[in-house]
């Protein structure tokens, strides 16, 4: 199979064990190129651990990963040049300004200095951060941190995006802007792998969804096939990860 026809992401029997607990336990998953893929689960389900393994930030205990037709970690450097990452905000550099951070990321991807500077300025303006471009990221709000991370992820025009809760703390205007940009990236052929707790956003954006629970895959399929009758994605999520019913003896005075 030629590289262009291989899945954007393919993992098989992936496990990550911390001590005696498996954060990810036998995950097998395939993400086709050009898809908008939602990767969901409750807190502690293993979503962020999975993204960290995909990016080579956490070595798997066992199992295999292939991204864009190449093996992780063997060809990780080549893969990283073609991937845009929006991490949890702890991975940003608080002592850099927004402009410095975006330029730093561009240079890490090998872009010429002049191109990096001009693209960074354009991205800051696009994400309405140009007035805060000289402000330290450590002084940014959570929503601003997510927007600058998204801007940095775009600077090298990647083929694949790994987005860990990109809309968390982002206001309605910023979220709409980010969604429009992501949909445009999919239209041009990019693949998006998204984790989010905002199920309404996932339902509107994603064409395929997987749900992980206690480290194991419990649902994987196209959105239109997962729904039963008038079910929403929230209904599906509650159905597969827990009943969502209030215990009979829980705070009866409420």
* Count of H-run helices and E-run strands, the chain: 9, 10
Is 125 part of a structural domain of the chain? yes
**pLDDT tens digits, 79-102:** 888 999 998 766 788 999 999 999
pLDDT above 60 (res 2): no
**Distance set, CA 133 to CA 79, 97, 137, 151 (Å):** 29, 6, 9, 12
- The closest of 141, 106, 144 to 127, measured between CA atoms, is 144
3-state SS, 193-206, equals EEECCCHHHHHHHC
Is 231 part of a structural domain of the chain? no
**pLDDT tens digits, 203-230:** 999 999 999 999 999 999 998 888 777 8
Domain count, the chain: 1
- The closest of 153, 213, 166, 207 to 35, measured between CA atoms, is 207
Is 59 part of a structural domain of the chain? no
Is 111 part of a structural domain of the chain? yes
pLDDT band per the 50, 70, 90 thresholds, residue 243: low
Give residue 79's region: left, alpha or beta (phi > 0; psi -120 to 50). alpha
Is 45 part of a structural domain of the chain? no
Is 85 part of a structural domain of the chain? no
Instruction: Give me the pLDDT at residue 78, please.
Output: 84
What does the block give as tokens for 210?
A: 């997987």
Is 181 part of a structural domain of the chain? no
Is 121 part of a structural domain of the chain? yes
Instruction: Give me the pLDDT at residue 126, please.
Output: 92
- For residue 151, the enclosing domain spans 92-157
Whether the full predicted model's pTM is greater than 0.75, yes or no, is yes
């Amino acid at each position: 199979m030629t590289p262009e026809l291989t899945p954007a992401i393919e993992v098989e029997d992936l496990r990550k064990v911390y001590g005696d607990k498996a954060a990810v336990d036998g995950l097998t998953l395939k993400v086709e190129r050009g898809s908008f893929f939602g990767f969901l689960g409750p807190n502690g389900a293993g979503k962020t651990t999975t993204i960290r393994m995909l990016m080579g930030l956490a070595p798997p205990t066992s199992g295999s990963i292939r991204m864009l037709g190449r093996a992780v970690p063997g060809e990780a450097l080549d893969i990283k040049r073609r991937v845009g990452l929006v991490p949890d905000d702890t991975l940003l550099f608080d002592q850099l300004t927004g402009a410095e951070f975006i330029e730093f990321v561009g240079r890490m991807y090998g872009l010429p200095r002049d191109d990096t500077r001009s693209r960074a300025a354009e991205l800051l303006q696009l994400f309405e951060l140009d007035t805060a471009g000289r402000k330290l990221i450590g002084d940014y709000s959570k929503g601003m941190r997510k927007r600058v991370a998204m801007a940095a992820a775009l600077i090298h025009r990647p083929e694949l995006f790994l987005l860990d809760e990109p809309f968390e703390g982002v206001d309605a205007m910023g979220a709409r802007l980010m969604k429009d940009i992501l949909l445009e990236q999919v239209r041009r052929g990019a693949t998006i792998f998204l984790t989010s707790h905002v199920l309404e956003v996932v339902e509107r954006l994603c064409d395929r969804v997987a749900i992980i629970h206690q480290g194991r895959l419990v649902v994987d399929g196209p959105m239109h096939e997962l729904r039963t009758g008038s079910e929403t994605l929230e209904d599906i999520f509650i159905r597969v990860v827990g009943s969502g019913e209030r215990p009979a003896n829980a705070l009866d005075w409420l």
